[in-house]
Amino acid sequence: MDYSFDINSLDDLYQEVILDHYQRPRNKGVLTNPDISSKGFNPFCGDEIILSIKLDSKGKTKCILFDGQGCSISQASASMLTELLSNKNLDELKSISYSFRAMMRGESLSSGEMSLIEGLEVLEGVRKFPIRIKCALLAWAALEDGIEEYSVKVLKKEP
Stretch 115-143: mean pLDDT, rounded?
Answer: 95
Is the model's pLDDT at 7 over the cut of 60? no
Largest CA distance in the chain: 68
Residue 21, φ and ψ in degrees, nearest 5: -65, -30
Domains and CATH numbers, the chain: 7-154 (3.90.1010.10)
Q: Are 45 and 71 in contact (CB under 8 A)?
A: yes
User: What confidence tier does 10 reach under pLDDT thresholds 50, 70, 90?
Assistant: very low
User: What confidence tier does 80 reach under pLDDT thresholds 50, 70, 90?
Assistant: very high
pLDDT on residue 6? 47
pLDDT on residue 159? 61
Listed residue (139, 120, 133) closest to 75, CA to CA = 139
